[in-house]
Structure 1
Amino acid sequence: MGCLKCFLNTGIYFAALIGFLAIVPLPPFNSTFTKYSNAPAKPLTGPLALNEKLSGGKRLFENELKGPEGLWYHEGALYASIHGGHVIKIVDDKIIPVVKFGKLCDGLYEEHICGRPLGLYFDKKGFIYVADAYYGLFKVNVNSTHMGEKEQLVSMTDIIDGKPPNLPNSVVVASDGSVYWTDSDSNHKLHDGLYTVFVDGTGRLLKYDPKTKKNTVLMKNLQFANGVELSLDESFIIVAETLKYQIHKYYLNGPKAQTSEIFIDGLPGSPDNLKKDGKGSFYVPLILERQAYMEIITNYPNVRMLVAKLLGIADYILLAIDSYYPNIYCKKGAHWVGHFESSPFASKKLSILKINEKGVITSSWHSTSGVIASICDIEVVGDKLYLGSPFNNYLGVTERPKDF
């Protein structure tokens, strides 16, 4: 009888806490929590069968750079976006600064000041387009005589369909100059990225028209909109919905123009940046493995709200203390509380998929060694395969598999 009473009391207290958090305006603000479910993970058989074709990788520039998120090879140099607000290029095993976004800051815990370039893309004229999570979308000249000159295309104060961008992430440029990009979440910054795991998605796929300098929302309410890539004939674009383990297809022309559909779902991990192979297929690195408990809580919005609110309260307290008694510990703590880098979801497995234009997985490459993991982007350079990650303090490289 005593155990039953204790159980009932605990249930009542928990329900009261849920009710209190639901009605009191605590962070995260402007977020909603509804029930949803993800497609079951595809079995690791056939083209998805595990192998060790990516084992034997090496770590380059360990502790010399942090978070090589976006990678691109151009005219003999490998370009990368990294923490600290920098895009760099690597030539003859040397790191050379190309352009700096943001302002001077005291450390990476102030990335909202430093700047954090994520996706990058070279157009056919040799300009590099960069999405910075805190400062917007830029077009950068990398010509030796004008190195680092940049033009801001989209600022963080531009109102697009009633909302300013909050987390610019990935970018791709069409042959007509149109720029397609993702705003991963309309309510949360990158340093609060962990909240996006629990709240309803507000990510967007957008198009920037260089002639009118206007943005159009093509898709919205995505659960962390991430990588984008155009099809070979540019008849459609695909966009990764990272936290739902799926990729969408948006038609740009033809009878289905301006409509979208699921390109592929049920992926065995979270898709990040996307790249075409030049032959009609797409490379899809999986940055995270699927977690059983994350599959469960999608069906329990109150539990997701509780976790998000508790994170928000911790964040709020640290920032409040710092506002009265400025100190590095509260700044670092507030940064840590909501950042993806503090999440328990890190993957030890390395996986890259190849998906054809019909949304069918045709090949996959893996490594379970843990030497290189949490990969978000790839770049093929000759017989080498370079591997980027927002979390790693090195650049990964491995021999390009013969069937890659």
Structure 2
Amino acid sequence: MGCFKILIVFTVILAIALLPGLPPDLDFTPFSTKEPMELSGSMAPNDLLNGAERLFEGEIDAPEGLAVWNGTLYTGNRQGDILKIVDGKMVKITNIGHQCEGYWEDRKCGRVVGINFDSKGYLYAADPYYGIYKINVDTGKFIHLIKTDVPIEGKTVRVANSVAVAKDGTVYWTSSICTNPGVDVEDAVVAIFADGNGRLFKYDPIEKTNKVLIDKINFANGLALSPNEDFIVVSETVQCRLLRYWLKGPKQGSADVFIDGLPGIPDNIHLIKGGLFEVSLAQPRTKQQPLPIDSLAPYPLVRRFIARVLYYLELPFQTIQEFTPTHTLEFLLTGSTTLTSSSLYFINGFA
């Protein structure tokens, strides 16, 4: 009987890993990540972040992007609010989301992730579920510039992530997940086990059209323009590297690797003083402590199995959330119906 049970389990595992057509309907092929660089020289560990001050702890839910205009700090939250910090207080400018019961319905509420200002002081915000917005921070009025429900070059945007605006008004933005129409995958935890399907886009505000600049990015994330706007840098999160797309010069229209083997998962990118790029690493990664994806990258069947298991584990919770849009799902997943403990951090004199 013991052997029979083992055989059944083994058969189920093979079926989940090998049967065609089972969701999530994504591609899985072998790839590799570069070994993380040594933490020495300019990369040696330091204590610059140890003196960070927590701001608005417990008052703001999941702030992601940060942007500064005329000395004022702006951010957003998981309810779709655009916020600014004035005289030590958090002030709501507007809400780009949709009517909903609360933060547990973030797919309905909307959520602010990457934000950036253009040269005229308009704020651009990426909402993973709805797309890119342009906001007048003085009046609170906004327009829905780019919508995710319209396929772009044959694929549907599932997770709009970050945005940057050139001096001429051209909008560059990323989507971490892009799928064929009808393939509904919005969960980053599931998608990171698949092949890269993220994209870097260019939006022409005159023609109101989008163009894919880089395809098949392994979870496209933050981005930033160079000081002269001759290239743009994009975080490829799963590969732990930064990509560069040339906008001007002899390499115009081509992409290459800007830096590889980062000692962590790259997220947001900001251009700071001296023409330097400041990159946030969401999780550390060393030779002694590699990430799970480093080990799993060459094994597509294992990655497919994990992705499918995670997908099916989430299905009952998604069903509950769809038919009972209350605290129920939050309670089942975390045992709590309170806001997550989020904060903004201030580091005096840093960058």
Cα distance, 1:254–1:24 mapped onto 2, change above 3 Å: closer
Counterpart in the other structure of 1:148: 140
Counterpart in the other structure of 1:309: 308
Give the secondary-structure state (helix, strand or coil) at the position aligned to 1:194. Answer: helix
Once structures 1 and 2 are overlaid, which stretch shifts more, 194-203 or 172-181? 194-203
Give the secondary-structure state (helix, strand or coil) at the position aligned to 1:399. Answer: coil
Instruction: Check if 1:81 corresponds to 2:76.
Output: yes
- Which residue identity lines up with residue 326 of structure 1 in the other structure? T
For residues 54-111 of structure 1, the C-alpha deviation after alignment (integer angstroms, 9 at most, x for no partner) is 2122211110001111111212421011111111001001111112122232232210
| CA drift at 1:306 | 1.3
- 4+ residue runs of structure 1 moved beyond 6 angstroms? 333-336
Cα distance, 1:142–1:292 mapped onto 2, change above 3 Å: closer
Counterpart in the other structure of 1:217: 212
- CA distance in structure 2 between the partners assigned to 1:314 and 1:157 by the alignment: 26
| CA drift at 1:219 | 0.3
Contact residue 112 and residue 191 of structure 1 kept, 8 A = no
Instruction: Check if 1:395 corresponds to 2:344.
Output: yes
- Which residue identity lines up with residue 176 of structure 1 in the other structure? D
Counterpart in the other structure of 2:337: none
Instruction: Check if 1:22 corresponds to 2:18.
Output: yes
- CA distance in structure 1 between the partners assigned to 2:113 and 2:21 by the alignment: 32
Q: Which runs of 5+ in 1 are unaligned?
A: 337-390
Contact residue 101 and residue 326 of structure 2 kept, 8 A = no
Contact residue 72 and residue 78 of structure 1 kept, 8 A = yes
Q: 1:280-299 residue pairs with structure 2 within 5 A?
A: 280-290=275-285, 291-299=290-298
Instruction: Check if 1:102 corresponds to 2:97.
Output: yes
Q: 1:246-285 residue pairs with structure 2 within 5 A?
A: 246-285=241-280
| CA drift at 1:135 | 1.3
Q: 1:3-402 residue pairs with structure 2 within 5 A?
A: 10=6, 13-14=9-10, 17-23=13-19, 25-28=21-24, 30-143=25-138, 147-187=139-179, 192-290=187-285, 291-320=290-319, 326=324, 328=326, 331-332=329-330, 393-401=342-350
Give the secondary-structure state (helix, strand or coil) at the position aligned to 2:347. Answer: strand
| CA drift at 1:244 | 0.8
| CA drift at 1:319 | 3.5
- CA distance in structure 2 between the partners assigned to 1:335 and 1:133 by the alignment: 21
- Which residue identity lines up with residue 344 of structure 2 in the other structure? L
Contact residue 58 and residue 343 of structure 2 kept, 8 A = yes
How high is the TM-score relative to the length of structure 1? 0.78
How high is the TM-score relative to the length of structure 2? 0.89
- CA distance in structure 1 between the partners assigned to 2:331 and 2:88 by the alignment: 35
- CA distance in structure 1 between the partners assigned to 2:294 and 2:250 by the alignment: 36
Cα distance, 1:10–1:37 mapped onto 2, change above 3 Å: farther
Cα distance, 1:184–1:321 mapped onto 2, change above 3 Å: closer
